[in-house]
Amino acid sequence: MHNAPGSQAAGPGMARLVAGSRIGRDDMRVNYLGPACLGIDHPALDGYDLSRFRPSCYLVEVSEDAGVGGPLMEGDLLVVDEQKPAQHADLVVVELDGEQRLFSSHRIGGRMRLMPTAGPDESIWARQSDLRGVVVHLARELGMRVDRAILS
């Protein structure tokens, strides 16, 4: 079994999230923009009323790692709620090596396995406290609005 540097064994094909974990160079990065309530000026937010989101929400922009051919594309804005507990099949933000990265959560009993949304297929085990938030909305430039359900 191969473990990512900074991770510990947690089962076949999986590592446990620990300080300094590194899953892979190709997992999807997101860039922090700031609290949603600040009314950040971005073309993807034209026509959005950001006041409808909870004060615990912040915005991240999907990096170029996503490309343009999937359900998430470079430049998409994600609204992330840092107080919402992650459930099965949520998109979650985790900080690894000082960068925020996007994963899909998979609940297994009382534990959570995080699967990269891009890049290598290696997963990691995490605790709720390891997460920086759950994606609750996607905004895409050109006024196209995509509901969270489409991302699942």
Tens-digit pLDDT profile for residues 2-13: 333 333 334 333
Q: Cα dihedral angle (92, 90, 8, 31), rounded to 10 degrees?
A: -20
Give ∠ CA 113-11-20 in degrees, rounded to 5: 65
pLDDT-above-70 percentage for the chain: 69
pTM, whole model, 2 decimals?
0.75
Q: Which residue has the higher pLDDT, 149 or 49?
A: 49
Average pLDDT estimate for 12-16: 37
Q: Which residue has the higher pLDDT, 56 or 26?
A: 56
Q: Which residue has the higher pLDDT, 148 or 123?
A: 123
> What is the per-residue pLDDT for 150?
42
Tens-digit pLDDT profile for residues 43-90: 888 888 888 899 999 999 998 876 666 678 888 899 999 999 999 999
Domain chopping of the chain, boundaries: 8-151
pLDDT band at 133 (very low <50, low <70, confident <90, very high): very high
Contact 130, 118 (CB under 8 A): no
Q: Cα dihedral angle (53, 54, 55, 57), rounded to 10 degrees?
A: -70
The C-alpha atoms of residue 80 and residue 93 are separated, in whole angstroms, by 8
Mean pLDDT of the chain: 76
- Say whether domain 8-151 belongs to CATH 3.40.50.620: no
> What is the per-residue pLDDT for 114?
92
Nearest Cα to Cα of residue 80 among 107, 53, 108, 98: 53
